[in-house]
């Protein structure tokens, strides 16, 4: 009876080692490769996105649909990665570093997304204002000259030229110059009496450009400095370490299984030998 209990007790660890020595599933291999590929593509997408935003801002152009597509892919990255969440280990402690870095990565992406959304919205308003100044400015100036508002026409012309130069980054034009003209034209009573609506829309557009240029510039810089690439690198490292630990765990399980199997067979043989000897 005691020998039977001993054999049963020895068989229990054998089952545990059998479970540990099971090969890593194809799903785990596929999820690992997919996660690495997704992270690498996200890093490339973010790099392309920041380059596109900086270029669009410098050239005073709309970033385009490609930039919006890149931004959407970056924003959706944490959700995609959650579908590849490592399943290759039964040890929670092994997954902790990965989960910590995944959460840090998710936080950074979530902080970056509203900045990009705000940039798109603010840049659109900024470009609309510049377009209005470019298209309506000459017409308003011509109308002022037609009704003999020569001084207002001259100041408006300087305002239009100065604002457009300031918007496109002309270092020779300081914000103070168009601001001064903006105040002067805003106080011109003849403008209020003869063409208030047209001129006010122009002045509002100039104000939008002057008020928002530094804000948008700061946002572009802030987006470019968001540490998404660094967090991607750390998350890839954690993913690789977790994957290797899964493979190592299987290898260790097989080694222990081999050793224990030999000991188990030897023990069974010894027990059977003693039992047979006892019968004699």
pLDDT at res. 53: 96
CA 37 – CA 73 distance, rounded (Å): 13
Distances (CA, A) of 202 to 148, 178, 199, 219: 19, 12, 5, 25
CA 85 – CA 279 distance, rounded (Å): 58
CA 103 – CA 117 distance, rounded (Å): 22
pLDDT at res. 97: 80
CA 278 – CA 280 distance, rounded (Å): 5
**Confidence grade of residue 38 (pLDDT, cut at 50, 70, 90):** very high
Nearest to 246 by CA among 14, 68, 28, 6: 28
Distances (CA, A) of 179 to 214, 249, 260, 279: 14, 69, 85, 112
In terms of CATH architecture, what is 26-279?
Answer: Up-down Bundle (1.20)
DSSP class of residue 195 equals -
CA 243 – CA 32 distance, rounded (Å): 7
pLDDT at res. 26: 62
The whole-chain average pLDDT of the chain stands at 81
Domain boundaries, the chain: 26-279
Handedness of CA 40, 43, 46, 50 (dihedral sign): negative
Tens-place pLDDT, residues 64-109: 999 999 999 999 999 999 888 755 444 445 567 888 899 999 999 9
Tens-place pLDDT, residues 242-267: 766 665 554 444 554 455 555 555 55
Indicate whether 168 pLDDT > 50.
yes
Mean pLDDT calculated for residue range 22-49:
82
pLDDT at res. 90: 45
More confident residue, 259 or 196: 196
CA 7 – CA 191 distance, rounded (Å): 104
């Amino acid at each position: 009876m005691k020998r039977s209990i001993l054999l049963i007790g020895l068989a229990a660890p054998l089952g545990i080692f059998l479970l540990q020595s099971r090969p890593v599933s194809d799903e785990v291999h596929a999820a690992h490769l997919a996660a690495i590929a997704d992270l690498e593509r996200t890093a490339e997408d973010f790099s392309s996105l920041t380059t596109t935003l900086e270029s669009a801002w410098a050239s005073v152009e709309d970033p385009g649909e490609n930039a919006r597509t890149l931004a959407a892919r970056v924003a959706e990255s944490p959700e995609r990665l959650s579908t590849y969440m490592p399943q290759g280990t039964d040890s929670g402690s092994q997954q902790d570093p990965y989960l910590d870095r995944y959460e840090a990565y998710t936080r950074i992406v979530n902080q970056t997304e509203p900045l990009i959304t705000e940039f798109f919205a603010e840049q659109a308003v900024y470009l609309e204002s510049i377009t209005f100044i470019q298209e309506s400015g000459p017409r308003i100036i011509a109308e002022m000259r037609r009704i003999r508002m020569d001084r207002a026409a001259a100041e408006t012309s300087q305002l239009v030229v100065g604002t457009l130069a300031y918007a496109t980054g002309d270092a020779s034009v300081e914000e103070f110059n168009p601001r001064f003209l903006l105040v002067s034209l805003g106080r011109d009573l003849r403008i209020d009496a003869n063409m208030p609506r047209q001129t006010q829309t122009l002045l509002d557009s100039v104000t939008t450009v002057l008020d928002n240029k530094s804000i948008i510039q700061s946002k572009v810089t802030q987006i470019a400095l968001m540490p998404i690439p660094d967090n991607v690198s750390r998350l890839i490292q954690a993913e690789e370490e977790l994957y290797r630990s899964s493979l190592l765990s299987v290898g260790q399980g097989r080694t222990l299984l081999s050793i224990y199997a030999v000991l188990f067979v030897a023990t069974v043989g010894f027990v059977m030998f003693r039992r047979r000897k006892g019968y004699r």
